[in-house]
Structure 1
């Protein structure tokens, strides 16, 4: 027998990369069960369960079960402005959530209104406003940056240095403008 045939395989199994969902499954289940969510899919796939439009306006917070076990109450967190529109859609939301469970687990939905920031920070994660488009750089800054890197022979390096110079020069001009406004 050769040396290769007598070697035993390593004790641990090499699994490579595991999906993040598999690694976090037990923690998500424990956190969900603490809030009454027997099916964690309701939390992790909320936009798929109720739709993107509704999911952008509300988040599931907890499920409270009655003494009999059936007829649970789902509590949704929403902003005050979105609450009247969601109130009209509660029957459709309840049907979609019950379809996720596979039976009529939810008989009532309660809406809790809150501000997207403040005391419910971390609980209410509503769709943020879109970021404003970046301003066009000042032509003087562009000219100064181009003049600063004009001696560089390598084209890629020159482009990178020019971008860096634009960033530095525009920030220094913003600071100078703020100082003038403060005085």
Structure 2
């Protein structure tokens, strides 16, 4: 038998997977596609989901490589879309978006790049809209109550104290309210 005629030994890149291995790959591929069809996921989320459902690490590695090569999993694209959606839809701050992406297993550099697309002006505008909505919903209440509630809304969305106090103060001044001299600058 010539060398070219010898069957693969199962170790090389041209090795044909066994029927059991091919079945496992197909099951993992099908699950990955179902998971991605349900909602976008980061590479870490998809990998964890496949492993959690009992697929072997080698099978998961092959499926992850295939999904990445096909463009089905791209953490940079996911992160940019996540930041845009959550910032404009929910008014989340850069700090809150950073935390969310980190918990989804996105690499630190990818997180920084995605969040950096939000400028200071955009973040302040989102905070201002949240504060304005909170303050308008609390008209008729005591000033301290309104301030506390507006600051709470901003804090829950991840905005820092300095920006929050400044925006709430400016919004109250725009309403024509006199501020307490003890109100932080």
> TM-score interval w.r.t. the shorter chain?
under 0.3
If each structure's strand is expressed as a fraction of its own residues, which one has the higher value? 1
If each structure's helix is expressed as a fraction of its own residues, which one has the higher value? 2
Q: Normalised by the size of structure 2, how large is the TM-score?
A: 0.27
In terms of Rg, which structure is larger?
A: 1
